[in-house]
C-alpha cells in the first residue's frame, strides 16, 4: 500500500463523511425529511454506537456479555449528573458530561471485566447479565437520581450533529483499533486463546481492555440517550435492551462493523417506518433473527467489511488498509 494511495482513501473517506452530513441536514432543512423522521435518526445513531461497541466484545474478542445496557446506564446517569451539577455551561458542559459518562462506563468495564473475564463462555454471560441487573437495581434505589420515579429534567442537548460526530468518532476509533496490533491481539484471543498466550499476548489484559473500550462507547451512547430523551428510568436499561443490542450484532454479523451499522439502522428504522407494526417490534426482531439464523448463521455480513480500497484497488491487490 503506497502512501499516496492511502492518503487518497483517507481524503475520500473524510469527504464522504462530511458530504453525507451535509446532504442529510440539507434534506432536513429542505423539508424532504420531516421533523418527525429527522428526530428518529438520533436514536439510530446511538443504537449503531451500542451495536458496534458490543460487536467489539462479541465479534472480535469472542466473548458473550449480556449486560451492555448496564454500561449505557452508567454513561447516561453519569452524564446527566454532570450536566446538572458541574459548573460548565452550554456545549462545553455537554461534551464534558458525555466524556465523563463514557469514562465512568469504561471504569465499570474494568471493574466488571477483571473478575468476569477470568471465567469465560456461559459464566461470563451470567456474570455480565447479573451486572446489568445490579446496576438497574441500584439505580432503582438511589434517591439522588430519582430512583424508580426517574431522573427528570435533563437538558435535551443531543442533536443530530452531536450524534453524527460521536458516531463517526466511534466508528473511526473502533476501526483503527481493530486494524492495529492491538486489534490483532484481540482477534487472536477469539481465534485461539492458548495460541495467543503462547505468542506472548497478555490475554487477560487485552480482554479487560476490550471490555472497557466497549463500555466506553456504550457509555457515550448512554450520555447521548440521556440528553435526547430528557428523563431516565432505570428499567430502560434492563436485560431487554441488552438483548436488543445483541440481536443487532448477531444479525449484522459478529465481527463485521459494517454489518452492525446496517442491522442497527435497519432494526431501528424498519418498525418505525411500518407504524402499524410498532407494537410487534420484538416479534419482528425474533422472526428476523430466526430467519437470518436459518439462512445465514454468520449474520448478514459475516465478517465482511466495507472498504473504499476494495472498490478502487487494482485487480489482484489484496493488501487493503
Partner 1 sequence: MFDDTKLYPLPSGGYLTARDLDKPPILDIRYLGIDFGGLRALTDFNLIVGRSEITGLIGPNGAGKTTVFNLITNVYQPTRGSIILDGVDTKGMSTHQVSRLGVARTFQNIRLFKDISVIDNVKIGLHHETRYQMPEALLRLPGYFKREKVADQRALELLSIFDMESLAYKPAGSLSYGAQRRLEIVRALATNPSVLLLDEPAAGMNPSETGELMENILHIRNTFNIAIVLIEHDMSLVMGVCEGIAVLNYGKIIAKGTPEEIRQNPEVIEAYLGKGVRE
Binding site for partner 1 (CB under 8 A): 3, 6, 10, 173, 176-177, 180-185, 187-188, 191-192, 194-203, 303, 318-319
Closest CA to 106 of 2, 253, 213, 229: 213
Closest CA to 219 of 84, 80, 76: 76
Shortest Cβ 181–partner 1 spacing (Å): 5
Show Cβ contacts of residue 265 under 8 Å, excluding neighbours closer than 6 positions: 44, 47, 48
Shortest Cβ 3–partner 1 spacing (Å): 7
Give the nearer residue to partner 1 in terms of CB position, either 191 or 240: 191
Shortest Cβ 180–partner 1 spacing (Å): 4
Shortest Cβ 174–partner 1 spacing (Å): 9
Closest CA to 140 of 241, 48, 234: 234
Give the nearer residue to partner 1 in terms of CB position, either 160 or 177: 177
Give the nearer residue to partner 1 in terms of CB position, either 205 or 312: 205
Give the nearer residue to partner 1 in terms of CB position, either 113 or 183: 183
Q: What is the 3-state secondary structure (H, E, C) of 212-257?
A: HHHHHHHHHHHHHHHHHHCCECHHHHCHHHHHHHHHHHHHHCCCCH
Give the nearer residue to partner 1 in terms of CB position, either 187 or 267: 187
Shortest Cβ 79–partner 1 spacing (Å): 22
- Any idea of the CA torsion for 60, 63, 64, 70, to the nearest 10 degrees? -80
Amino acid at each position: 500500500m503506497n502512501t499516496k494511495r492511502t492518503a487518497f482513501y483517507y481524503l475520500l473517506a473524510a469527504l464522504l463523511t462530511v458530504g453525507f452530513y451535509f446532504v442529510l441536514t440539507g434534506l432536513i432543512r429542505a423539508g424532504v425529511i420531516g421533523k418527525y423522521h429527522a428526530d428518529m435518526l438520533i436514536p439510530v445513531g446511538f443504537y449503531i454506537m451500542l451495536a458496534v461497541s458490543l460487536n467489539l466484545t462479541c465479534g472480535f474478542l469472542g466473548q458473550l456479555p449480556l449486560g451492555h445496557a448496564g454500561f449505557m446506564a452508567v454513561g447516561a446517569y453519569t452524564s446527566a449528573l454532570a450536566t446538572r451539577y458541574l459548573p460548565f455551561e452550554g456545549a462545553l458542559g455537554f461534551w464534558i458530561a458525555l466524556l465523563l459518562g463514557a469514562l465512568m462506563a469504561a471504569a465499570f468495564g474494568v471493574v466488571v471485566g477483571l473478575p468476569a473475564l477470568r471465567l469465560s463462555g456461559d459464566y461470563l454471560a451470567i456474570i455480565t447479565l447479573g451486572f446489568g441487573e445490579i446496576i438497574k437495581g441500584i439505580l432503582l434505589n438511589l434517591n439522588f437520581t430519582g430512583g424508580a420515579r426517574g431522573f427528570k429534567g435533563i437538558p435535551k442537548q443531543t442533536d443530530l450533529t452531536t450524534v453524527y460526530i460521536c458516531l463517526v468518532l466511534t466508528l473511526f476509533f473502533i476501526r483503527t483499533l481493530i486494524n492495529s496490533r492491538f486489534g490483532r491481539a484481540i482477534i487472536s484471543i477469539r481465534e485461539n486463546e492458548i495460541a495467543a498466550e503462547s505468542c506472548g499476548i497478555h490475554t487477560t489484559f487485552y480482554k479487560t481492555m476490550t471490555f472497557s473500550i466497549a463500555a466506553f462507547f456504550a457509555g457515550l451512547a448512554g450520555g447521548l440517550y440521556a440528553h435526547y430523551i430528557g428523563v431516565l428510568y432505570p428499567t430502560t436499561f434492563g436485560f431487554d435492551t441488552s438483548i436488543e443490542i445483541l440481536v443487532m450484532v448477531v444479525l449484522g454479523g459478529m465481527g463485521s462493523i459494517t454489518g452492525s451499522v446496517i442491522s442497527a439502522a435497519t432494526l431501528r428504522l424498519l418498525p418505525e417506518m411500518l407504524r402499524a407494526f410498532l407494537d410487534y417490534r420484538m416479534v419482528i426482531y425474533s422472526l428476523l433473527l430466526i430467519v437470518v439464523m436459518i439462512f445465514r448463521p454468520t449474520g448478514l455480513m459475516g465478517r465482511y467489511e466495507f472498504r473504499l480500497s476494495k472498490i478502487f484497488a487494482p485487480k489482484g491487490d489484496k493488501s487493503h488498509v
